[in-house]
Structure formats: structure tokens, C-alpha cells
A and B are shown apart, each in its own frame.
Chain A
Amino acid sequence: MTDVQEAPLLEVKDLRVKISTKAGTFYPVNGHNFTLNKGETLGIVGESGSGKSMTATSLVRLLPKHAAEVESGSIELEGRDLLKLSEAEMRKVRGSEIAMILQDPQTSLNPSFTVGNQISEALSLHAPGPKKTMRERAINALRKVKVAAPEHRVDCYPGELSGGMRQRVVGAIAISCEPKIIIADEPTTSLDVTVQAQYLRLLKELQDDTGMGIIFITHDFGIVANLCHKIVVMYYGRIVESGTVERIFAKPAHPYTEALIGAVPKLRGHEGRLRTIKGQPPAPMETLTGCPFAPRCDKADSRCFNELPPTFDADGDGEHLASCWRVIDQ
């Protein structure tokens, strides 16, 4: 973690994303506030439909057109508000300043172009150079993600590579322009544990070398516990708890976080039954007054059902925030 108190790399303030459909409007990102510093890893955790991926795509302005739009807030990358940039300026930010690694390497690579071709495509958009050197630069990018025999692999088609290797190629494309931030959306869900460990180690090494910030979108508490410095827990489009990994795992302030952590068995052995959360996450258009988690919460009282809790400072030092009435009741 960096000790240097400089301006954060990325600062998201009060971000709201609106989805309008015939059935009604809905906010998959509802009042987000978080920061990411240089060399830091932030985990955005939540279940499917909680709005994690919408948060990620809104940062790089890749939200589904016509359906979703940023309604308010700001996304500042080193003091520059990305929401105020033109489409052409934003295109330069994407890839060269903020890069994305998507979940499925199978679908994010084009099967009919060679790996080298696809890496040079990204390079030529952001750092154009003579064609002759492109191949060399693609090989270098592959070498950085530790692909064995990069001179040979650069001419391979994605179908000739294993899943772990393909995910490395996607990583090579993402880091080829030396971005300041990498957003990784469930990058290892389709990989074996051993390959996952290699890949995560690689990302960490790249981060140590370049000081890039990483945003991990995941539902895997193993990744969060081992790789992230800070966590943001999302439920129904809202951040319900945020803070450092150590504090949140040691003393979760929101019942949802607490239950999620208790629901995952520990590798060293788990005593007794696993924690469960009753019911299902709410459907997107459901109208809820009060805390969205209240219907599934063991500790909810009448206030929880009627009043939406604001964000409280759980430990009194601004490092651990939670939106739950219990924080001030204790």
C-alpha cells in the first residue's frame, strides 16, 4: 500500500446511473463514493444483479447505449472529470489510461485473428508506430505477462491456446499501453485454481512494477481477502459497506457483509453450519422503502423497513463506512 498522501488516482463522487425501460426506471449505481490510490487494489463485491459490472462500465463510459446513462456525480481521474470529456477524448482514455479485462477470454478475443494482430491493434490505436516494430512490441507485451515462447505464440490463433494462456493474452492487450488503472471484471472465474493463482500473482507483480491501480469486480471472497487493499460491498445498486480488507473481515459493520463472509466455508476447515441469507436478492424494479436488505436481514426493525439508512462512519475515523442503522444504535 502507498503511504504517500497524494491526490487519489481515481475519485468517484455521488455517481448515479439510471436505466430507463418501458417497465420503469431503476438505478443500478446509486450514489457511489469511492477512491482508488496509486498502486492500490479495490475489490467491488456483490451478488449478481447488485450493479458491480454497471459500476465498472460506467467508469469507462461503456454503458449500454440508450438504455443506461449517468445521471449525476463525477468520475475524476487524476483530477480530470471523465464525465465532461468528449467521446473522442474518452476513446483515448479507454485502453491507454483505464483498461479492462473481461471475464471470459474466450469471447473477448477474436477467433479469426492472431494474438499478435490483436495486441498490435490496441497498440496502434493508442501508441502508433511503424508496422515493422508492432510485432516486436506485441512480443514484448506477451513477454510481460509471462507467456512462454512469445515469439512463437504471437502467431497463434486464440483457439490454439489454453484458457489460462488466453487470459494472459487479454491481460497483455490491457497492459500494452501501460494504463494507470486496470478494471478486472471476474477475470479468473473460468480458470483452474492453479492457473488463477499464477494469473493473480502476475497482476500483482505488474502492479508492483508500474504502480497501476486495480479494480477487481468479483464475488469471490478468496480473491478479495488475498489481493485487495480496500473493499466496496454492493447490494441492490448501493454501496452498503466500504473500508480496508482487514477491518471489514475482522468486524463487518453491515449485516449483509457479515452474512456473506459467514456463508463462505474456510479452507482451514469450517465449524458448524454455513450462514445463509434467507430469500432472494430483490428484482431490479422492485419498489423498496427503507433499507433494501431489510427483508432478508435478521436484525431489521421497523425503522429499517421505513427509512433508508445514510452512510455512517463505523469506526469513527472515516476509514470504514456502512449504511446500516445498527451502526449508530450500538
Chain B
Amino acid sequence: MTNTPILQVENLSKHFDVQTGIFKRETKTVKAATDLNFNICERETLALVGESGCGKTTTTQLLLKLQNPTSGRILYDGEDINTLKGDALKAYRSRVQAVFQDPWSSINPRVRIGDFVSEPLIVNEKVGSNEVDRRVNEALDAVGLRPQDARKFPHEFSGGQRQRIAIASAIISRPRLIILDEPVSGLDVSIRSQIINLFKDLQAEYGLSYILVAHDLATTRYLADRVAVMYLGKIVEQGPTDDVFDAPSHPYTEALLSAALSADPTEKRDEIPMTGEVPSPLNPPSGCAFHPRCHRFIGDICSTQAPALRSHGTGCSVSCHLYNQ
């Protein structure tokens, strides 16, 4: 694995203003992502994990430039993507692609597969029609579909094949980074493993990097090299997947992992009961946002001061007062 980061995220924040109260006179701010810092290197898979509403999707939208950040920068090969314009922006868009959860709604039902798959190429690059056909065949072949499938319509395919089509459309522009937003959760178990293996194969063949958003922690562990655990818009722990899964440092990571059910009856974990649900991002708790649910609450410091993300152990960082003494 080379260590040159292709994408660097620096102090990235995204806040949304929401009108609440009687007659919507009151303006509150939802801090969907606060002060995120992470890098993605070549051939690396970074997973974002956390409960719904923790800001995973906002983060991926910022990376895809579907939203503009409130503050902070995203550097692609050292250049801020928010300053990109014209051809440079098109180049960025074709190098960073996405595969979404639901293959039934992410493909236009009236468009032939070949046209759907070639769209990123036609929009972002200037290529002739012969070259388009060749690249479509190449992409379909890479995901295990046949060239004649290009003439078919989406309804002629099953869920697993549709997800393959979505992947073909993501790889046709030869991207360096693909954002995978719950890419297998809509699929059946036997199909899921085919797609997971396909992601691994494509990564090895094309040197791809992935950012994975998945709620299934076992899949995350299988695919990701590094993992960032998010809670209410902040990264609370980050590190190599095996280290984080085997020895979680942040109490939230601990509780989250203990809640996951392993598909192995001999592997029983002691569940750490986490009370309540994720607080509303409109009224986040004071201090450390996790303190009302924390089983390792150490005192007033937790409810008054927000802990900073500090490095902890080799390659890990964690934001918790437990490790600040």
C-alpha cells in the first residue's frame, strides 16, 4: 500500500440551519459534520460507521461535491475541490464515483443498460462512440455481465445483477475512489457475498480506494482497512479496522460493537447496554455528546468539556476524557 493520500479531509464541517418553533421564527443549527479530519490512500478502504443520523451520509455528499462545506477543505491530489471549475471539476467527478444502496431506484428504468453505464463517460469525458462501446463492454465484463446485456432494460435483471450494473457505471470512468453507501444491504445473503468479493477483486485489479458506509459491522470489518466511528457529526475514534474491532478505545465504539450480532453462535460477547437512542442533533448534549449514554462516565468533565481527538496507541485516535490524563 502506498502512503500518498489521494484525498485529504481537513477540519471539514457542514452545518444546516433549520427553522423551528412557533411560526418557524427560531433558527437552530444542525451540526451534521463537525471538524472531520481523515485521509484516504491509494488501494485503501476507509469505513464510516455509526448510527443513523451520525453524519455519514452528509460526509459522503460533501466528498461527492453534492453539498458545499460550511468550513474546512477537501484536498484531491493536494487541490481543494471547492475551487475546481470546468474541466478540472469534470475530471474530479469522473475520478470519484459512488454506488448506492438500492439498485432498484438508482437505475433509470427506461434507459438501456449500455446507455446507463456509459453516461458518466459521455458527460465527463470527450470520447468517440467506438471507444464508448469498447469501454462499456470492458466495464460489463469486469463486473461479470455479458456484452449483450448492454441492449437490455433494467427490469430484465435481478437485484444482484442491478447492483453489478451500478458498479459497472461507477468504474467505467476509471475512478480512483468509489464511495459505497450501504452497497449490499438491499441484497440477499448469497448475492451479498458475490458483490463483496467483486469489490475486493476490482480493488486489486484497478487499484481503487473505497469509502464504505455500512451498518453491518461484520461486512465493514471484512472490507475496510481503516475505520472511523462517528457520533452526532464527529469522529470519536479512528484507526486500523482490526485494532478498533479487537480493542475499541472509545466507550461508544465499545457499546456499538457489543451490540452487533455475530453470525456464529460460539462467539458470544457481553453486551454493553446503551440506554436510550441517539439524541436529536438539534439539541446535542453539552460536553462530550455521548455522555448521557456512556457507561464509563467519569464525572463533570464529560458533561462540560468536549474532548478533542488525540492519537492513542499506534495509528489510532480517540476523543474521550478517559485517555486525556
Contacts and interface: CB of A to CB of B under 8 A. Distances in A.
Interface of A: 47-48, 148, 162-165, 192-198, 200-201, 219-226, 245-246, 249, 259-261, 263-270, 273-277, 280-281
A246 B264 CA distance: 9
B177 interface: no
Interface in B295-315: none
Nearest to A280: B158
Given A194-B256, A265-B196, A267-B267, 13 more contacts: A164-B277, A192-B215, A195-B51, A197-B271, A201-B271, A223-B261, A225-B267, A226-B262, A226-B265, A245-B265, A249-B264, A249-B266, A280-B158
A165 B278 CA distance: 12
Q: Which size bracket describes the interface of B in this complex?
A: 35 or more
Contacts of B273: 198, 201
Contact of B265 (A163, A246, A270): A246
A219 B189 contact: yes
12 contacts: A48-B188, A192-B215, A194-B51, A194-B274, A225-B267, A263-B189, A263-B193, A265-B218, A270-B222, A274-B197, A276-B190, A277-B190
Interface string B250-272: 00000111111111111110010
A263 B195 CA distance: 11
A222 B189 contact: no
B209 to A, nearest CB: 20
Contacts of A192: 51-52, 215, 278
A220 B189 CA distance: 8
Contact of A274 (B222, B257, B259): B222
Contacts of B152: none
Contacts of A48: 188
Given A249-B264, A275-B193, A267 B218 contact: yes
Nearest to A163: B52
B259 A269 contact: no
Contact of A273 (B160, B200, B263): B200
A264 B268 CA distance: 16
B52 A266 contact: no
Given A193-B217, A201-B271, A267-B217, A249 B265 contact: yes
A267 B259 CA distance: 11
Contacts of B263: 220-222, 224-225, 261, 264-267
B324 interface: no
A39 to B, nearest CB: 18
Given A47-B189, A47-B190, A259-B190, A197 B259 contact: yes
Interface of B: 51-52, 158, 160, 188-194, 196-197, 200, 215, 217-219, 221-222, 242, 245, 255-268, 271, 273-274, 276-278
Contacts of B193: 263-264, 274-277
A281 B160 CA distance: 11
Given A194-B255, A221-B189, A269 B215 contact: no
Nearest to A47: B188
A224 B261 CA distance: 9
Contacts of B219: 265
Contacts of A165: 277
B194 to A, nearest CB: 5
A165 B277 CA distance: 9
A141 B158 CA distance: 42
Given A267-B262, A275-B193, A280 B160 contact: yes
Contacts of B190: 47, 259-260, 263, 276-277, 281
Contacts of A259: 190
A1 to B, nearest CB: 13
A216 to B, nearest CB: 12
Contacts of A264: 189, 193, 218, 263
Given A193-B256, A197-B259, A281-B188, A269 B265 contact: no
Given A47-B188, A193-B260, A222-B260, A266 B218 contact: yes
Closest 8 CB pairs of A and B: A222-B261, A221-B263, A197-B259, A263-B193, A265-B222, A267-B262, A274-B193, A277-B190
A16 B52 CA distance: 41
B155 to A, nearest CB: 14
B265 A193 contact: no
Nearest to B257: A267
B261 A197 contact: yes
B159 to A, nearest CB: 8
Contacts of A164: 277
Contacts of A162: 277
A162 B158 CA distance: 32
A226 B189 contact: no
Contacts of B258: 197
A267 B260 contact: yes
Nearest to B266: A249
Contact of B262 (A47, A198, A222, A280): A222
A276 B197 contact: yes
